[in-house]
Structure 1
């Protein structure tokens, strides 16, 4: 069993521990970045609804070349944001989530590529000052009040359309590549299907091409604690007490399901089934439960419960192409593709990525496949991505 570096220093807070792990694994000689703002008037959703004004944040690393042919789009995961690399300030505790592979000389080389990343619609981190996103927590200009559940249901295609509006505004006619992990992989393959002539390469990390019945039912477990929180009030809680208890339980579920039991147990070596408190009273938690919920509670303050519900629904509705037939959608792909699932992923199983890879090959497309090894499970697509750095670099530069 692998030892976790620096583990004794952080036992109580998962987020602090993860930050330390990243510090121990990677060099943090990172560049500074700035969050930029992009707005779209009268945004039309895939389901035919109109959002009068959409504003989203985005970041860029590197320089766009003269013919604007070197753009690489990074599409982020479920609870992520556009902060894929670099730091906002030198004093920041850590850089963006994929700083290990994005930057000068790295797998996604910013000396060569102009790398763009954008906050999604209904971004989970609606209360984070570094995230700019339109969603249920935003003010509806027609009412002057938060949208709540009157905000239209949005899809992965809508995330792509917002990104395309940004790239169009920059004069980018074709993306050298679209690369994304988890929910970002859905966006990446949707790009390749929706705009086949505008995507040169596509990399799906810990991803899928459609949400099957198992995944849809599993994702509902993320929504259930929020829906069952009395403070949720059918999404109308913005001038009242927010459903933080439900949101915390949701985030705890998300965190545990994104991890493999191996790493979860390594992070809790002192756990014992013989703890006195739980043996004495049903109302007392095991220490591991308090640990998990404490970490989730720390994240809840920057997130919005309705936004989590909308993201869940976007993922549940996903099938590449959004036309109901996956093979027909994949037949449209012109991009060369690379699938990088995590071997130990118990959330988006490697078999799901392998099926899409094989379907593309059967359709005569050029597709490649490799797996990320590790103890983190689904999170190996974030914390273990450097393992496939050479694969990514060669794929992008060949």
Structure 2
């Protein structure tokens, strides 16, 4: 097995980009990275799309001293399921990426400066969709001379982008691997995304999204991240990890309203730390893009009729974000349309997050699907 090289982060720029809503943005920028080499006829490209709170960092390390590798490093790299000795793998930050405080993230969104005014867009930034994310990715892919992707894949919000690619650009997608996601957002997901977003809107510092000249709504964002994190983890993991232990040993949570359980304290602390690297408006814009999602802007049945790529659908039967019934609606619609579909369940106590953290168990199926 070849030694894994370090990853280089790059920036892709579009002088002008027109959103699905008809707004034209200038100087649109996203970060991207790649693993492996593009072959002479540019036929070995695999695109990885990231999840809601993720970035382009799907595999490898930026520096040898990095404590952790990219989120799908278990399946992307030399000799792994998506073998970078054979495949050229690329991944990009989405528009309105959540992680605006990460120095390695480049993304255009409401926190960006509007070239026309020199001030942050704030709430004047247009509503963007999963289709907009894909349109920018398509421009990046085409800038590299790639006309067809061997596979598009991604977990959670990355699976939404995968379906959008396969339905809107069927001629460019050889295969599609959708992990812990579905081809449309149903009413339950729309409602939960609103629950995640509510603490931001209730934070007085949010100010309708116009907060870039003052204090950001960090408290509301922290609580939003806490709600998101809790739902992304199944109760099996939460109960096994925290139980009913108090936040402070020897302090009974019944002793005062301020006395807490460990699970409350740990989740809140994690949310507060994460909020320092994120932007509240970007969270809201991401939530809106997910709520609006139907692959190709069509009904589920029409979308599956347009899809041509063979599908590998990987899900968790106890996923609380994309419940099994929601995933199965997509699988059944694809099969009813005569599509080639392989459906695989993964295991683990995390639930939804097992589609990010426990993918090694699916490496045999992924390798066979990609290379078959």
| Fold similarity call, TM over 0.5 | yes
2:218 corresponds to 1:278: no
CA RMSD of aligned residues (A): 1.5
What pairs with 1:375-394 in structure 2 (closer than 5 Å)? 375-394=349-368
Relative to the length of structure 2, the TM-score reads 0.97
The SS at the match of 1:267 is helix
Query: Which residue is 1:137 aligned to?
Result: 111
2:274 corresponds to 1:299: yes
Query: Which residue is 1:150 aligned to?
Result: 124
TM-superposition CA deviations, 1:96-155 (whole Å, max 9, x none) = 000000000100010110000000000000111010000000000111100001000000
Mapped partners of 1:233, 1:35: distance in 2 = 34
Mapped partners of 2:77, 2:159: distance in 1 = 20
Aligned residues: 370
Query: Which residue is 2:149 aligned to?
Result: 175
Q: CA deviation at 1:351?
A: 2.2
Contact 1:338 1:368 in 2 (8 A): yes
Q: CA deviation at 1:280?
A: 2.2
Q: CA deviation at 1:359?
A: 1.1
Q: CA deviation at 1:395?
A: 0.1
**Which residue among 40, 55, 67 is the counterpart of 2:41?**
67
Contact 2:153 2:162 in 1 (8 A): yes
The SS at the match of 2:242 is coil
Mapped partners of 1:337, 1:41: distance in 2 = 34
Query: Which residue is 2:341 aligned to?
Result: 367
2:260 corresponds to 1:309: no
Q: Which runs of 5+ in 2 are unaligned?
A: none
The SS at the match of 1:162 is helix
TM-superposition CA deviations, 1:229-283 (whole Å, max 9, x none) = 0011111111211111000000000110000111111221462699744322223
What pairs with 1:214-253 in structure 2 (closer than 5 Å)? 214-253=188-227
Contact 2:81 2:367 in 1 (8 A): yes
Mapped partners of 1:122, 1:352: distance in 2 = 26
Q: CA deviation at 1:30?
A: 4.4
TM-superposition CA deviations, 1:142-200 (whole Å, max 9, x none) = 11100001000000000000000001101101000000000000000100000011100
Contact 1:354 1:369 in 2 (8 A): no
Mapped partners of 1:257, 1:366: distance in 2 = 31
Change (3 A) 1:305 1:113: same
2:81 corresponds to 1:113: no
Contact 2:4 2:78 in 1 (8 A): no
TM-superposition CA deviations, 1:263-310 (whole Å, max 9, x none) = 111221462699744322223322321111001111111100000000
2:174 corresponds to 1:205: no
TM-superposition CA deviations, 1:305-324 (whole Å, max 9, x none) = 0000000000000001113x
Change (3 A) 1:255 1:275: farther
Mapped partners of 2:335, 2:250: distance in 1 = 53
**Which residue among 102, 106, 113 is the counterpart of 2:76?**
102
Query: Which residue is 1:42 aligned to?
Result: 16
**Which residue among 318, 335, 345 is the counterpart of 2:319?**
345
Mapped partners of 2:195, 2:340: distance in 1 = 36
TM-superposition CA deviations, 1:18-65 (whole Å, max 9, x none) = xxxxxxxxxxx7431010000012201111111112000000000101
Mapped partners of 1:31, 1:332: distance in 2 = 39
Contact 2:205 2:215 in 1 (8 A): yes
Q: CA deviation at 1:330?
A: 1.2
Mapped partners of 1:299, 1:382: distance in 2 = 18
Q: Which runs of 5+ in 1 are unaligned?
A: 1-28
Contact 2:49 2:159 in 1 (8 A): yes
Contact 2:110 2:123 in 1 (8 A): yes
Relative to the length of structure 1, the TM-score reads 0.91
2:137 corresponds to 1:166: no
Mapped partners of 1:287, 1:351: distance in 2 = 32
